[in-house]
Every structure is written in C-alpha cells, then in structure tokens.
Amino acid sequence: MNKTVVFTSAGEVELQDKEMPKPAAGEVLIETEVSLVSTGTELTFLSGECPENSKWSGYIHYPMTSGYSNVGIVKETGEGVSKEWIGKRVASFSKHAQYVIAKEAELRVIRYDITPEEATFFAIAEVGLNGIRRTKIEIGNRVVVYGAGVIGQLLVRYLLAGGCTEIIVVNRTEKRLEYLPKSLAVIPVSSLRKNVADVVREVTQGEMADIVFETTGNADLIPEEFKVLHQQGKMCMLSSPRKATKFDFHDFCNAGSFDIIGAHISSQTEQPSFDNPWTCVRNSETFFRMLATGQMEVASLISHRVPYTEAPQVYKNLLKDRTQSMGVVFEWR
C-alpha cells in the first residue's frame, strides 16, 4: 500500500492507505525520500478559507491530497521513458505520499552533492527566482521584502547573491526574522515594533525603495506596501492573497507611476530561447547548483524534521500557530 496524506475536510488530516500507483506512458514512479510542507498554500487548502467564486474556491475540494515539493528516487518508468531514469534522485511537484507519479518532462534531476532536504526547497526557490527575473533586479537595488516565511527567506538569499545593497525584510513576529542571513545588507524589521516607511526612509537616505516583494498573502497589508516605494518603483506579487484587496488605482498605481508585476510560478517560460532561457527546469538547476557551490544555503531554514506518520498532528499544530515554524520536512524512509 501507499501511505498518503489526505485532507478529508476543512481542518482535518488523515494518513490513508492508497493503491500503489503505476506509471503510464511518459511517466515515472518515484519512491519519496522527503517532502516539504508549504505553510502558506497548503494551510489555505486545509483551512478552506477563501472567497466564494474565487480561483481559490476552485482549487479546494475534499477529500484532497496536498503538497508540491517532493524529492525521491525513480523506481519504475512508463512506456516511452528510458530505463536510465531508474535509480536517479529527482525533484517533482508531487504530493505527500510514499510513492508518487510524475511526468518525465516535469522532473528536476538532482545532479549535485546536496542533501534531499536541501533539494526539497526547489519549488519555492523557483517562485523566488522567477520573481527576481520578472523584476529585472540589478546590482545596487534597494529592496523591501514583506514576509519572512520560506519564500521571503529564499528571496533574500537570491537578492544578496544578486548584489542588492539594502534588503529590508518586514515581518510581524521576530522569530522568523532570526532565520535571515547575517549580512549588513539585510535589515530585519518587526512591523509590530517599528514604522516600516520610517525605516526605509532612513536606510535609503530618503530616496525610498526601488522594489517591493509581497510574500505575506495579507490582502489588507498590500496597499500599505506601496508607501515605501519611490516614484516609478516596482511592486512584485509573489503571494496569492486569499481575499479581495481594496485597491485604489489612482493612489497605488497611477499617481506613483508604479509597475505592478505578477510573478506566479506558472509564468516561467516552457520553451527556452536565447532571449529567455529560464524555464522552470533551468531555474531549479540554478538553485541546485548554487547550493552545491555554497552561493545558496537553506539547511538552516529547516525548523522541523518529522516522520510522515506525524503528518496529521503537524498540520493541526500549524493551523494553530505557524509562526514558530519555517521549513517543515516530512521524512518518508
């Protein structure tokens, strides 16, 4: 049988026995080593809290399996897929389960000497790197990152590698700010203790930020985030707010001549070109390579390593309070 994490209803999680899957044409069977919990998207699925007739309401249905950051070993291949895949470690957008099926074309091969736990951050790393590319970050940019969860943490690491000189990271609770890399370029700010706009004004000598990255998903906060930008600054949306945002296009777009940039992971190009080689697979390859060369570090972001048997309790704890968690990894072997 195949142990699988299932959201049976809003707020309820079970570990269920499912039939062992078989790969069809173009697919592979993967034995999971580790999978990473998304404390944003998955908790939205589990809570079921979203506006009626929104895109979120179309995603959520019960019972449902969840998860999208899986690392494991290929055990079997379907018709038309080379047997050379067998035994290779791969990352895929697969669920939390002992055995999963993935399409060959969507596999991310892990070629480097990195741990499965590090590699399982690949999906969220793609989100952050896609945001970097969509905003066209340059050396010397002054950036404000709202949210110090896993996406915010990885984004900060990319911004450091890309030469941003002032990276102001805003979070309500200070616990998550403690996970930030120690660098003079990284300025942590608890919004419960300080006025963010005042901090940005001081750090930038009154010139304000070039770019804001939104990773919190807090619809009520988003209008405030425009206040830290200078004229013609950029706002990059990396989160998916669960409710409508009250948005004044005069104040938050036209008056400041701001660029508002969506950077959903689906906006990565599917086919490479010389002008844009950055497919999802290439972005993951970049992440793995940066881990191997020491340009990226994520091991310190793992706050919890737990056996998959504890998954139901882990989700219940996260629903109560996710602020004390960062990278939560399920171990399957």
Residues 31 and 68 in one domain: yes
Report percent pLDDT > 90 for the chain: 83
Q: Give the 3-state secondary structure percentages of the chain, helix then strand then coil, rounded to 5.
A: 30, 30, 40
Task: Tell me if 204 is assigned to some domain.
Answer: yes
Residues 99 and 133 in one domain: no
Same domain, 133 and 117: no
Rounded to an integer, what distance in angstroms lies between the CA atom of residue 333 and that of residue 327? 18
Q: Is the pLDDT of residue 52 over 80?
A: no
Q: Provide the pLDDT for residue 271.
A: 86
Mean pLDDT over 268-282 rounds to 87
As a whole number, mean pLDDT of residues 295-313 equals: 97
CATH number for 10: 3.90.180.10
Residue 174, domain member (yes or no): yes
For residue 192, pLDDT over 90 is answered with yes
In a domain, 287, yes or no: no
The answer, yes or no, to whether residue 51 has pLDDT greater than 80, is: no
The CA distances from residue 266 to 16, 61, 105, 127, in Å, are 30, 21, 15, 9
Q: How many CB atoms lie within 10 A of CB 87?
A: 9
Q: Average pLDDT in the 81-88 region?
A: 97
Q: What is the pTM of this model?
A: 0.93
With tokens 């020491």, the residue in question is 294
Q: How many other β-carbons are positioned within 10 Å of the β-carbon of residue 307?
A: 11
Residue 92 has pLDDT above 80, yes or no: yes
Do 91 and 151 lie in a common domain?
no
Residue 183 and residue 109 in one domain:
no
- Over residues 108-128, mean pLDDT: 96
Beta carbons within 8 Å of 106's beta carbon, 6+ residues apart: 92, 93
What CATH number is attached to the domain comprising 181?
3.40.50.720
Do 135 and 261 have their domain in common?
yes
| Structural domain containing residue 106 | 2-121+298-331
| pLDDT interval class at 216 (50, 70, 90) | very high
Given 267, 285, 308, the domain boundary residue is: 267
Q: Are residues 131 and 251 in the same domain?
A: yes
Q: How confident is the model over 61-77, as pLDDT tens digits?
A: 999 999 999 999 999 99
pLDDT (average), residues 163-170: 97
**pLDDT (average), residues 87-103:** 98
In total, how many domains does the chain have? Answer: 2
- Specify whether 212 is located in the same domain as 93: no
Is 166 within the bounds of a domain? yes
Alpha-carbon distance of 76 to 89, in angstroms, equals: 12
